[in-house]
């Protein structure tokens, strides 16, 4: 309890006792008092969310943990509470992320709880579920702002329906690559392990093994570009650094997961993006650099096509 006063430690311990004894309104009051001083303290946020959950205020409980969602997914201390709150809000994909990080001794029990909740949702919301599944599957037919919204809404799909829709979306020649990348990343998070077909930026269908995909920070070519940009602007001009980084992460959504095939000379890619970000141009001195310029132009054209430029 480092950083918390002795008096507040007493209040915190008292709130824990109240939670165990079912005095949930008292927990809410004490947690709200403590959060005024320690808004980022996970233990207090967990107490607050747990009390709201027990008071059947499920959406409020989720709002409390939303900022700390990764901790409630990956930290064993908070996984049980996170799982209950996710399921109470029909956030099945977040629940599946918890399962992906669950220790072996708890995996079977948690999986059974998730499956039970998914089945109940299917029975109670069959029509809505069919509509949600179709919307994700045919996301490419929607405007960009609706696609962004639907990616968030799709968190409420059970895994079976999510995968069914994802397979259609990912191999859709008319689908937006950014949406496809978000779906691929979600499948990674739940540790889905089948092969799927991805119709990618090059206009070809590729077989993707989800369990072989990596987080962005493990693709060395992309990391090398970020490092080059950081070295140039971190101390000299943080505003320019922020602008170029945003452009690179936008590009990453189009390139994923083929960074090493596209960014073959990270230094040239970084120099080109920097130049183009501030009104300059870049020229190629080799066929390899010409190919990279063509990729950058293709991404730019996709942004224009989708209406983001």
The pLDDT tens digits of the residues spanning 92-143 come to 999 999 999 999 999 999 999 999 999 999 999 999 999 999 999 999 899 9
Residue 283 has pLDDT above 70, yes or no: yes
Both tokens of residue 162? 């999510």
CA distances from 77 to 29, 67, 202, 239 (A): 23, 17, 44, 38
Given the candidates 1.10.10, 1.10.8, 3.30.160, 1.25.40, the CATH classification of the domain at 6-89 is 1.25.40
Q: What is the largest CA-CA distance in the chain?
A: 73
- The arithmetic mean of pLDDT across residues 233-248, rounded, is 93
| Cα–Cα distance for residue pair 19/136, rounded to 1 Å | 39
**267 Cβ contact partners less than 8 Å away, ≥ 6 residues apart:** 224, 228
- CA 133 to centroid of chain Cα atoms: 19
267, pLDDT greater than 70 = yes
Find out whether 11 and 30 touch, Cβ atoms under 8 Å. Answer: yes
Read off the pLDDT of residues 210-219 as tens digits, 9 standing for 90 and up: 999 999 999 9
Percent of the chain at pLDDT > 70 equals 99
Residue 27 burial (CB count, 10 A): 25
pLDDT band at 309 (very low <50, low <70, confident <90, very high): low
* 39 secondary structure, DSSP code: T
Tell me the pLDDT of the chain averaged across its residues: 95
Please state the rounded mean pLDDT for residues 136-154.
Answer: 93
Q: In the prediction, which pLDDT does 305 show?
A: 84
Per-residue pLDDT tens over the stretch 162-181? 999 999 999 999 999 999 99
**3-class DSSP assignment, residue 174:** coil
- At 52-104, the pLDDT tens digits run 999 999 999 999 999 999 999 999 999 999 999 999 999 999 999 999 999 99
Q: Is the pTM of this model over 0.75?
A: yes
Q: What is the pLDDT of residue 92?
A: 98
Give the residue-averaged pLDDT of 203-208: 96
CB 264 within 8 A of CB 291: yes
């Amino acid at each position: 309890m480092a950083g918390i006063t002795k008096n507040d430690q007493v209040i915190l311990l008292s709130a824990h006792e109240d939670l165990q004894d079912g005095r949930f309104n008292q927990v809410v009051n004490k947690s709200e008092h403590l959060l005024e001083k320690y808004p980022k303290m996970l233990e207090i946020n967990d107490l607050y969310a747990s009390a709201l959950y027990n008071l059947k205020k499920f959406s409020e409980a989720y709002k409390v943990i939303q900022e700390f969602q990764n901790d409630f997914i990956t930290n064993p201390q908070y996984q049980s509470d996170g799982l209950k709150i996710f399921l109470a809000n029909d956030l099945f994909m977040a629940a599946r992320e918890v399962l992906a990080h669950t220790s072996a001794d708890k995996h079977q029990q948690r999986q059974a709880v998730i499956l039970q909740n998914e089945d109940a949702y299917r029975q109670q919301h069959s029509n809505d579920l069919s509509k949600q599944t179709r919307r994700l599957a045919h996301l490419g037919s929607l405007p960009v702002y609706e696609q962004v919204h639907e990616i968030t809404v799709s968190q409420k799909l059970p895994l079976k329906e999510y995968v069914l829709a994802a397979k259609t979306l990912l191999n859709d020649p008319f689908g937006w690559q950014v949406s496809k990348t978000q779906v691929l990343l979600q499948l990674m998070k739940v540790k889905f392990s089948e092969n799927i077909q991805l119709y990618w930026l090059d206009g070809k269908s590729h077989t993707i093994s989800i369990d072989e995909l990596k987080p962005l920070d493990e693709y060395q070519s992309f990391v090398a570009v970020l490092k080059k940009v950081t070295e140039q602007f971190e101390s000299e001009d943080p505003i320019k650094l922020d602008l170029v980084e945003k452009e690179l992460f936008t590009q990453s959504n189009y390139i994923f997961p083929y960074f090493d095939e596209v960014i073959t000379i990270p230094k040239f890619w970084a120099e080109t993006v920097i130049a183009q970000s501030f009104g300059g141009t870049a020229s190629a001195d080799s066929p390899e650099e010409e190919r990279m310029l063509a990729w950058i132009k293709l991404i730019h054209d996709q942004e224009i096509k989708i209406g983001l430029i």
